[in-house]
Amino acid sequence: MQANMRLRAAAGCSRAAITPSVRPGPIARHAVLAQSAAKKKELFMWEALREAMDEEMERDPTVLVIGEDVGHYGGSYKATLGLHKKYGDMRVLDTPICENGFMGMGIGASMTGLRPIIEGMNMGFLLLAFNQISNNCGMLHYTSGGQYKTPVVIRGPGGVGKQLGAEHSQRLESYFQSIPGVQLVAVSTVRNSKALLKAAIRSDNPIIFFEHVLLYNLKAEVGDSDEVQCLEKAEMVRTGTDVSIFTYSRMRYVVMQAVAELEKQGYNPEVIDLISLKPFDMETISKSVKKTRRVIIVEECMKTGGIGASLSAVINESLFNELDHQVVRLSSQDVPTSYAYELEAATIVQSSQVVEAVQLMCGPALVPA
């Protein structure tokens, strides 16, 4: 648990660094677009997340950060670097190693008027906080008959990194998705990471906020202090006609890498970043399915019980007559993530698999490039 994950992830990120030309996601009815025409400086994703927290903590004195090494250490992934100097030790609270305890403490604080951002140093560690996340975070607004709300943001890095071993490579979104009363959000770009975190902090619902361990060193422009992004809306990454590819988090880049290849072969896929893993944005999803009539889900979750399993079921149930092909899921294999590079790579979805799936599903491209 105490491995210096920050250095590993930074080193490993270069292998996965892909900065495709993605369109910024549509900002829905509850967001405000930045209007400035001047070129903004670029930030790393960890800086963008930090800027989000800094802005929200400045705006609202009831916002605080709780977690292991978030304060003096600056955060294992630097997402809170320097914030303790500005806000003090109580607003950037270094905790002992007791996830269930400090998760519950944060939830109790949120019931009584504060708005904590609770960091899991790695999302996998939140397995230890499952009791609190399920019973108190998710359910408490309901069991109290609406008397107490739990406006927490539970955030941290998850996903498969570079040879971090099985326990540091987990995808907890699939474990948490059944908990009633929580929203699950997965960020993917520098811009959406900041805008979504701001929205999550302002939300009165508990938001489980998935960052990816390999995306922290992406660099791009961010929105200004007013830009928040709708937590329930998916992002259109690339419009197309042949097939709808639904994905999220780092797999967005794997998909776009495949798209670069597919475009050469004459395919025209539509790529949608789910953003909201729970609830699903059925407007964006259904519009796309009705247009392309083919669906591939590309995720890093295990096949069994993953986000893709839920999405596939929903599409099957509500859009059956819009489909020309069964929904295809590209997911990680139901295997603990190996340490060895080759085995790790074989566990997760690679871009070549995405290319192959589109080829199989769509047949030969109608219009060669």
Partner 1 sequence: MMMSHTQLPASGAGRRAANGRPSRCPLRVRAVAAVPKLATKAVAPSSYTNLTPEVAKDLYYDMLLGRDFEDMCAQMYYRGKMFGFVHLYSGQEAVSTGFIRAMRPMDSVCSTYRDHVHALSKGVPAREIMAELFGKKTGCCRGQGGSMHMFSAKHNVLGGYAFIGEGIPIGLGSAFQSKYAKDILGQEGDYDVTASFFGDGTCNVGQFYECLNMATLYKLPHIFVVENNLWAIGMSHQRATAGTSGDVEPHIYKKGPAFGMPGVHVDGMDVLKVREVALEAIARARRGEGPTLIECETYRYRGHSLADPDELRSKEEKAKYAARDPIPQLRAFMLSNGLASEAEIKAIDKKVADEVEDSVQFAEESPKPERGQLLENVFADPRGFGIAENGQYRYELPGFSSGTAAVS
Q: Cite the active site residues.
A: 99, 168
Nearer to partner 1, 105 or 127 (CB): 105
Least Å distance between CB 104 and partner 1? 2
Specify the stretch interacting with partner 1 by CB under 8 A; choose among 77-85, 149-157, 186-194, 258-266. Answer: 149-157
Tokens of 310: 């839920």
DSSP 30-67: T-------SPPPEEEHHHHHHHHHHHHHHH-TTEEEEE
Is residue 130 near partner 1 by the rule CB under 8 A? no
Is residue 276 near partner 1 by the rule CB under 8 A? yes
Tell me if 42 sits within 8 A of 221, measured CB to CB: yes
Interacting residue with partner 1 among 7, 21, 36, 145 (CB under 8 A): 145
Is residue 26 near partner 1 by the rule CB under 8 A? no
Least Å distance between CB 230 and partner 1? 9
Specify the stretch interacting with partner 1 by CB under 8 A; choose among 6-14, 131-139, 235-243, 343-351. Answer: 131-139
Q: Distance (Å, rounded) from C-alpha 366 to C-alpha 368? A: 6
Site for partner 1, residues 85 to 104, rule: CB under 8 A: 88, 90-91, 93, 95-96, 98, 100-104
Least Å distance between CB 276 and partner 1? 7
Site for partner 1, residues 303 to 362, rule: CB under 8 A: 314, 318
Least Å distance between CB 6 and partner 1? 25
Tokens of 224: 């200004």
Least Å distance between CB 117 and partner 1? 14
Is residue 110 near partner 1 by the rule CB under 8 A? yes
Nearer to partner 1, 83 or 256 (CB): 83
Nearer to partner 1, 165 or 279 (CB): 279
Nearer to partner 1, 230 or 348 (CB): 230
- Crossing angle of helices 282-292 and 307-318, in 10° steps, is 60
Give Cβ neighbours of residue 312 (< 8 Å, ≥ 6 apart): 295, 297, 327, 329
Least Å distance between CB 147 and partner 1? 4
Nearer to partner 1, 317 or 342 (CB): 317
Nearer to partner 1, 179 or 296 (CB): 179
Tell me if 354 sits within 8 A of 341, measured CB to CB: no
Tokens of 263: 């475009």
Is residue 106 near partner 1 by the rule CB under 8 A? yes
The label of the residue with tokens 């977690």 reads 67
Give Cβ neighbours of residue 173 (< 8 Å, ≥ 6 apart): 158, 184, 186, 208, 210, 277, 301, 307
Is residue 114 near partner 1 by the rule CB under 8 A? yes
Q: Distance (Å, rounded) from C-alpha 163 to C-alpha 165? A: 5
- Return the SS3 of 133: helix
User: DSSP class of residue 342?
Assistant: H
Least Å distance between CB 144 and partner 1? 4
Closest by CA to 107, choosing from 115, 97, 95, is 115
Nearer to partner 1, 18 or 314 (CB): 314
Give Cβ neighbours of residue 178 (< 8 Å, ≥ 6 apart): none
Can you state the percent helix, strand and coil of the chain, rounding each to 5?
40, 15, 45
Q: Distance (Å, rounded) from C-alpha 107 to C-alpha 240? A: 43
Interacting residue with partner 1 among 76, 122, 136, 192 (CB under 8 A): 136
Site for partner 1, residues 175 to 234, rule: CB under 8 A: 180-181, 183, 203-205, 231-233
Q: Which residues bind partner 1 (CB under 8 A)?
A: 61-62, 64, 88, 90-91, 93, 95-96, 98, 100-114, 131-132, 135-136, 140-151, 180-181, 183, 203-205, 231-233, 276, 278-284, 286, 314, 318
